[in-house]
Structure 1
């Protein structure tokens, strides 16, 4: 009996070591890379993941590629609650965090670093990971303890009520994050009108705020308080000290898009919207420009239904069809993929689909040549901003997918990353996919 008990303890110890090893930073996974031809458009799609782990890309407001342009960082259940990186050429997959993360993953553009939040017994921490060393040591098989690659920049005071919204400044010295109602209220002007919840989802009530942390010194400074719920905090990755964020309601907001400087000055609506406009999914795409969608996804009350009009195929599981948003998001007024200039404040609509929901998640190349957007049908469209020509890049990603494609350009504007359920047997599970900009379009003259 003693022998059996000892053997059982040895087996438990071995399993424990195995489980610990499986959670280690630098762990490598086999390539899942596949090149698949889109059945409708013929575009050759590179699936960097192709198995049903439940992958998802970083949100389009943030970079997807490492600074060297070789690795795409993404979220997946393949390594539990850890972030992964996949090499675009080889398909090698490497675990790049240990200890978990919450909220947004922030890839630096000047260095091979990753910044993120994680919850610990000590509190909410902001962590800096050295991806360059992780990936190099993983390839050589010389991994060290996680602490040698991950540095805790700060443990945030609980009274800040900080959340998972995190954005790395272009100077890579500061990160911005949301703070809760009590902390925001301490910095509100006396007598300020606090906004109540808005819309059928009962979201959007304030106050909320934004603070910033110096990742070198740990210093925390308050940036701004606003009378509404803050969401989608992002930094202008080309212009230090510039922030874009939104009034988050879960749908149409009275005034969706906002911008402010890191010192709290210059707070203003980014695009002052009309009551009938449904503005959403803003993304900073260059030093001076922000892309956003002005939705055209809802039927015009009292109008005859078009045979293949805007209301076709946008109901059911697709958002924004519920009552309570008012007469907004219709094509009675201009709608489409819009781009706002942060300096001149001018807005231009560069394209719109002929039917269906219209554009939903949008992005653009930083050189100003191209824009890209998805719709409720999971179609992906590319737009040449020089002449407004639009082409369908890829489709067939299944309307049952767990999420939208969420397109994001890489740094040089030659490739677009999306998440797709094209290969999923359950029709929902997403994989990480690279869509090329056609060579013929890349050879066109740049915008004047």
Structure 2
């Protein structure tokens, strides 16, 4: 029986209600399907998932699943294949380049998005590109993934939380999400006044470090013992600490920067803790007045990569470009420079085979380690209107997967900010 054939037997109000809800009511239709969506004789119930698109869903729901929104294209200049993992109207960005991006099993990338109404953390499948919301409420997006264990750490108010990411992703895929508390463990509570603004997980996953501003011009680094939850101050410095990162390859070591929002007097610092708990703190790569260092990352256990800016006339008078530094010996290796202000961000493979750098207009290059003559343009135009760092377009902040196969980066090519991925080499 068609819906229209009942109009003579229904009041206008009842008819309106049926058209809005799509329900079939016992007695009128001879059946009872409370949750079906039968309209004009067609049942749309099997398509109930299609309204959960990246533009429509705004619910802040822990564990919810989003369909893939990826788009694969060939770079117009290089011809190389690029995959836009996100393409929605929402602002999407990768975790900052100092921290792990991939879950330890390599199956998911964790990223940030405001698709649920605020900046939260999400995981995207490397296989299907489907997206799972892994944070909700007041969680935010500052998550640190485990190095070997498929978990994620984050602060909620004054509590350090460990999230069982493996169980959450499995349950979300199966559609069997339980209460949020089932996936969380509270490691400990820190003093309210500390207010962490940086986080680093030690390589042995037994300690987590965070930085905080104690007062104007003074910052501290604290250690949280992940077994006991106890918090201990380990270092105080007379400047603002930024970009705290643990050595991914060796326990008890971390790098951080003197954060100014611009050119620091001495950007890079290195702290280590010995077996007796003694802390050694020292600068890395002593800077001159005409040196502007930025975007330092670990390459392997003994090497860091960083960029010396060349976007101003006065900076071009001295050394500038991408460098790597052996933090044990002090040996410095130059990896090249580009025109129009030069390179900006840095990443490298742990086998010290490749370095990757980008420019202000969003071109990304692969460089043979220590051999600038062997430089390959990978992809272009990810900051279409920019010729300097001072624009609103996405910062690449690119990272390389632990296996050295994939390059992950932010892009403003398609929308305001997306995350994209491409093979690092043609192999």
- The Cα of 1:66 is off from its aligned counterpart by 0.6
Aligned pairs for 1:325-404 (under 5 A) are 330-353=315-338, 355-385=339-369, 387-388=371-372, 389-397=374-382, 398-399=384-385, 402-404=393-395
CA contact (8 A) 2:68 2:129 kept: yes
Q: 1:49 corresponds to which residue?
A: 86
Change in 2 beyond 3 A, CA 1:216/1:24: farther
Offset from partner CA, 1:41-97 (integer Å, 9 cap, x none) = 111101111112100110000011111111110000112343100112211100112
* Structure 1 unaligned blocks of 5 or more: 1-6, 12-17, 183-204, 301-329, 443-448
Distance 1:423 1:177 in 2: 35
Aligned pairs for 1:35-114 (under 5 A) are 35-81=72-118, 82-102=120-140, 104-114=142-152
Aligned pairs for 1:304-315 (under 5 A) are none
Larger relative contact order (Cα-Cα within 8 Å, sequence gap ≥ 6): 1
Distance 1:105 1:373 in 2: 25
- The Cα of 1:217 is off from its aligned counterpart by 1.2
Distance 1:37 1:264 in 2: 52
TM-score of the superposition, structure 1-length normalised? 0.78
Change in 2 beyond 3 A, CA 1:369/1:125: same
Offset from partner CA, 1:240-278 (integer Å, 9 cap, x none) = 110100101111111110001144522100111112111
Q: Find the partner of 2:408 among 417, 423, 430.
A: 417
The answer as to 2:193 corresponding to 1:150 is no
Which 4+ residue blocks in structure 1 deviate beyond 6 angstroms? Answer: none
Question: 1:147 is paired with a residue of what secondary structure?
Answer: helix
Aligned pairs for 1:41-440 (under 5 A) are 41-81=78-118, 82-102=120-140, 104-119=142-157, 124-159=158-193, 161-182=194-215, 206-262=217-273, 263=277, 265-300=279-314, 330-353=315-338, 355-385=339-369, 387-388=371-372, 389-397=374-382, 398-399=384-385, 402-424=393-415, 429-439=416-426
Question: 2:279 is paired with a residue of what secondary structure?
Answer: coil
CA contact (8 A) 2:72 2:81 kept: yes
Q: Which moved more, 1:104-113 or 1:238-247?
A: 104-113
Change in 2 beyond 3 A, CA 1:48/1:102: same
- The Cα of 1:24 is off from its aligned counterpart by 2.8
TM-score of the superposition, structure 2-length normalised? 0.81
- The Cα of 1:224 is off from its aligned counterpart by 0.5
Distance 1:101 1:345 in 2: 40
Q: Which moved more, 1:391-400 or 1:336-345?
A: 391-400
- The Cα of 1:144 is off from its aligned counterpart by 0.6
Question: 2:172 is paired with a residue of what secondary structure?
Answer: helix
* Structure 2 unaligned blocks of 5 or more: 1-16, 22-51, 387-391
Offset from partner CA, 1:189-235 (integer Å, 9 cap, x none) = xxxxxxxxxxxxxxxx6211111111221111111001111111000
Q: 1:31 corresponds to which residue?
A: 68
Count of matched residue positions in the alignment of Structure 1 and Structure 2: 367
- The Cα of 1:386 is off from its aligned counterpart by 5.4
Q: Which structure has the larger Rg? A: 2
- RMSD over equivalenced CA pairs, Å: 2.4
Offset from partner CA, 1:370-403 (integer Å, 9 cap, x none) = 1111121111111111533111111111236532
Aligned pairs for 1:7-22 (under 5 A) are 22=59
Distance 1:93 1:264 in 2: 43
- The Cα of 1:150 is off from its aligned counterpart by 1.6
Distance 1:399 1:385 in 2: 30
Question: 2:227 is paired with a residue of what secondary structure?
Answer: coil
Offset from partner CA, 1:354-381 (integer Å, 9 cap, x none) = x112111111111111111112111111
Question: 2:362 is paired with a residue of what secondary structure?
Answer: coil
- The Cα of 1:101 is off from its aligned counterpart by 2.8
